[in-house]
Amino acid sequence: MMLEIKNLKVNFATPRGILQAVRGVSFNLSEGEFLGIVGESGSGKSVTAASIINLIPPNGLISGEVLMNGKKPFTMSGQELLSFRGSEIAIIFQEPGRSFDPIYNVRKTFYETFKAHNPAISDDESEILTVKLLKEVHLPHPEERLKNFPHQFSGGQLQRIMIALALASNPNLLIADEPTTALDVTIQAEIVGLLKELKRKRKLTVIFITHDIELVSRLADRIIVMYNGLIMEDNTSRNIINHPYHPYTMGLINSLPIFGNHYSTHKLISIPGSIPDPVADIQGCPFAPRCPLVKDDCFIKLPRLNREDGSYRCIIDGPKRETAHE
């Protein structure tokens, strides 16, 4: 197993009290797997991802265990952690513009990254490797663009360069946190196509974070659905889309025009209500107040993540619920 996360919890001290951003998340990822993490805003997706590289701000308290290729980032010294972050894992973010230094051109940006791994690298060697990577992400005319600065590229081009830069350190794991949210739909589809291609050609292990369950189902082998700092469902993309067991997953799917009821015949059903206050102490299932299938018992105890038939966190048997939904 490449990555094992066990009972990850992250609390933040806030003026309103303790905010439980991640409330006991466990999952494994094997080499070459493409995992999607979906959920509404505030469900703890980014904090979970940042925890893997132990990148939590000072007001955060992290517990549990992360094991990445046998290494434990939670017990590393500052120096070990820097080298772990630089060599094992690369992260790409939503807005590529903000990840680049505006005063570095492309040549210099890549040179600095290569140099961090190989201090002896020459300008020429760096340039050859840079052009190769930019070709791999299909940036047109890469040789001519080395002198350009970030503001001279479109959002889609910058995201390609960002992906190339992530690959420059030859990471074992690529984490993409909403890499297409800021892009328009056509460009988004192109970036999705590129990630699919890289997954196939490089056998990349990827964690792809998004609000968009339909988008991620086209890429991921497996999807984890998060809500209120918890995993609500963890299953293959195919099962998640065709046989969602958790009412929250069903809600996400029903609010899509493609997988849910079609516009022309039925109205799209968006999930009523809003996410719970993350500072509140929640007893039962955090989705209960919004759940169409709620029972009294749902408010009493948090259901366990059942591990037998896919996994889902609900007191009603999944397959039975599917019939209730139809």
User: Which stretches of the chain bind ligand ATP, using CB under 6 A?
Assistant: 12, 14, 19, 21, 39, 41-47, 57, 59-60, 211, 278
Euclidean distance between CA atoms 271 and 258, whole angstroms: 16
Q: What is the DSSP letter of 261?
A: S
94 touches Mg ion (CB under 5 A): no
CB nearer to ligand ATP: give 281 or 308: 281
CB nearer to ligand ATP: give 219 or 316: 219
Residue 21 in contact with residue 10, Cβ under 8 Å? yes
**Taking CB within 5 to 8 Å according to partner kind, which of Mg ion, ligand ATP, none is near residue 78?**
none
Q: What is the DSSP letter of 59?
A: T
Q: Strands 3-14 and 17-29, how do they pair?
A: antiparallel
Euclidean distance between CA atoms 303 and 270, whole angstroms: 24
Tokens 């006991």, residue located:
24
Q: Strands 34-38 and 222-227, how do they pair?
A: parallel
**Taking CB within 5 to 8 Å according to partner kind, which of ligand ATP, Mg ion, none is near residue 24?**
none
46 touches Mg ion (CB under 5 A): yes
CB nearer to ligand ATP: give 59 or 283: 59
Q: Is 21 left (phi over 0), alpha (psi -120 to 50) or beta?
A: alpha
CA distances (Å), 199 to each of 133, 194, 196, 208, 209, in order?
15, 9, 5, 12, 15
To the nearest whole angstrom, how small is the minimum distance from the Cβ of residue 37 to ligand ATP? Answer: 8
To the nearest whole angstrom, how small is the minimum distance from the Cβ of residue 41 to ligand ATP? Answer: 3
To the nearest whole angstrom, how small is the minimum distance from the Cβ of residue 281 to ligand ATP? Answer: 14
In the chain, the amino acid numbered 237 is S
CB nearer to ligand ATP: give 57 or 102: 57
To the nearest whole angstrom, how small is the minimum distance from the Cβ of residue 44 to ligand ATP? Answer: 4
CB nearer to Mg ion: give 46 or 180: 46
To the nearest whole angstrom, how small is the minimum distance from the Cβ of residue 220 to ligand ATP? Answer: 16
To the nearest whole angstrom, how small is the minimum distance from the Cβ of residue 185 to ligand ATP? Answer: 19
CB nearer to Mg ion: give 146 or 174: 174
Euclidean distance between CA atoms 177 and 212, whole angstroms: 12
**Taking CB within 5 to 8 Å according to partner kind, which of Mg ion, ligand ATP, none is near residue 264?**
none
**Taking CB within 5 to 8 Å according to partner kind, which of ligand ATP, Mg ion, none is near residue 15?**
none
In the chain, the amino acid numbered 165 is L
**Taking CB within 5 to 8 Å according to partner kind, which of Mg ion, ligand ATP, none is near residue 157?**
none
The interface region with Mg ion, picked from 46-54, 126-134, 192-200, 213-221 by CB under 5 A, is 46-54
Residue 170 in contact with residue 112, Cβ under 8 Å? no
CB nearer to ligand ATP: give 90 or 225: 225
DSSP sequence for 146-200: TT--GGGS-HHHHHHHHHHHHHHT--SEEEEESTTTTS-HHHHHHHHHHHHHHHH
Euclidean distance between CA atoms 302 and 286, whole angstroms: 8
To the nearest whole angstrom, how small is the minimum distance from the Cβ of residue 147 to ligand ATP? Answer: 34
Burial class (CB in 10 A: 0-12, 13-18, 19+), 88: buried
**Taking CB within 5 to 8 Å according to partner kind, which of Mg ion, ligand ATP, none is near residue 25?**
none
**Taking CB within 5 to 8 Å according to partner kind, which of Mg ion, ligand ATP, none is near residue 47?**
ligand ATP
CB nearer to ligand ATP: give 92 or 316: 92
To the nearest whole angstrom, how small is the minimum distance from the Cβ of residue 2 to Mg ion? Answer: 22
Q: What is the DSSP letter of 104?
A: S
The residues of the shown chain that bind Mg ion, judged by CB under 5 A, are 46
